[in-house]
């Protein structure tokens, strides 16, 4: 009997990690959760520099999703935690992978489309210029640079630049649903700012595809092919829920509620294209927003 290929997965209990674990198990991979902030077997701990190298040896792939939640008010302490969890955790893992005797075939590390900045007029693909102006662009810059040891060590490294992930069980959509179900939702900050998104099932299939496709390396925009404006998103969600969606939230109110976090996430104007995925032959099951939202709220 052939041994199953081992996948090392950080962030295995999160929204994306849980769904990815289920899918990889269905595909008959052996998924090994690799716990952050844990000394000893089966984990790694950036503050102490401890990492279980033995469990990494001989793995087929390492998929790194762990990191402090962005969805909180960005106090000085919170920003330090967010930055450290991504930069230091990724660097510790990347350095360890580069030093293995049996290195993985691929290292997939989470990032975000804010690597391109916060406000851009053009549709962005993986060849577009990047920016480090703003806290999230600064974080994603440090996050991606922390993978250099792995790529320079000969490991195929994929930088998964994610956008809003549509799921009723977690993330931004879950937070929006109560208001929209009451008919109290609507465009935010004028509604003209553009946003990218991806359905959770398509994101999972994209990660699996990137893992199995040897030609994929470097930045990979994890976005659906059709970015929308905030107003279009509100109309589509209201339509799927059969509720009105015209009550706006002004930018000043969002800023008052969420501070810099709200300004750099919900009020950013950023539209990305999955050029690498489409050029490599990946096909989205739900490429349009309405069908993706319908799938998400029926989970």
CB within 8 Å of 54: residues ≥ 6 apart: 41
Q: How confident is the model at residue 106 (pLDDT cuts 50, 70, 90)?
A: very high
pTM across the whole model:
0.95
In a domain, 199, yes or no: yes
Per the structure, how many domains does the chain have?
Answer: 1
Average pLDDT on 61-66 reads 97
Q: How confident is the model at residue 259 (pLDDT cuts 50, 70, 90)?
A: confident
The structure tokens 């450290």 sit at 84
In a domain, 140, yes or no: yes
DSSP string, 114-157: GGG-SB-SSPB-TTS-----SHHHHHHHHHHHTTHHHHHTT-EE
Q: What is the CATH number of the domain that holds 141?
A: 3.40.50.720
In a domain, 244, yes or no: no
Give residue 34's pLDDT.
Answer: 96
In a domain, 247, yes or no: no
Q: How confident is the model at residue 2 (pLDDT cuts 50, 70, 90)?
A: low
In a domain, 226, yes or no: yes
In a domain, 46, yes or no: yes
Over 183-232, what HEC string results?
CCCCCECCCCCEECEEEHHHHHHHHHHHHHCCCCCEEEEECCCCCEEHHH
In a domain, 211, yes or no: yes
In a domain, 82, yes or no: yes
Residue 91: give the domain boundaries. 6-230+259-297
């Amino acid at each position: 009997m052939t041994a199953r290929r081992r996948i090392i997965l950080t962030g295995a209990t999160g929204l994306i990690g849980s769904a990815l674990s289920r899918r990889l198990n269905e595909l008959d991979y052996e998924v090994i959760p690799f716990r952050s902030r844990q000394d000893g077997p089966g984990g790694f701990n950036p503050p102490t520099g401890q990492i279980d190298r033995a469990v990494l040896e001989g793995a087929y792939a390492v998929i790194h999703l762990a990191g402090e939640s962005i969805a909180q008010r960005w106090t000085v302490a919170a920003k330090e935690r967010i930055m450290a969890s991504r930069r230091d955790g990724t660097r510790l893992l990347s350095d360890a992978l580069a030093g293995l005797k049996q290195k993985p075939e691929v290292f997939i590390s989470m990032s975000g489309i804010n690597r391109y900045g916060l406000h851009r007029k053009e549709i962005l693909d993986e060849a577009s210029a990047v920016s480090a102006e703003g806290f999230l662009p600064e974080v994603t810059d440090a996050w991606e640079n922390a993978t250099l040891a792995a790529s320079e060590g000969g490991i195929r490294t994929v930088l998964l630049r994610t956008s809003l992930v549509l799921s009723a069980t977690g993330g931004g959509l879950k937070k929006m649903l109560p208001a929209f179900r009451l008919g109290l939702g609507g465009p935010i900050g004028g509604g003209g700012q553009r946003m990218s998104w991806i359905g959770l099932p398509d994101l999972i299939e994209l990660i699996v595809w990137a893992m199995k496709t040897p030609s994929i390396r470097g930045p990979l925009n994890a976005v659906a092919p059709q970015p929308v404006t905030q107003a279009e998103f509100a109309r589509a969600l209201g339509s799927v829920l059969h509720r009105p969606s015209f009550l706006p939230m002004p930018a000043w109110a969002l800023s008052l509620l969420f501070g810099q976090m709200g300004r750099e996430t919900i009020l950013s104007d950023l539209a990305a294209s999955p050029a690498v995925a489409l050029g490599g032959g990946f096909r989205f099951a739900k490429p349009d927003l309405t069908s993706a939202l319908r799938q998400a709220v029926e989970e």
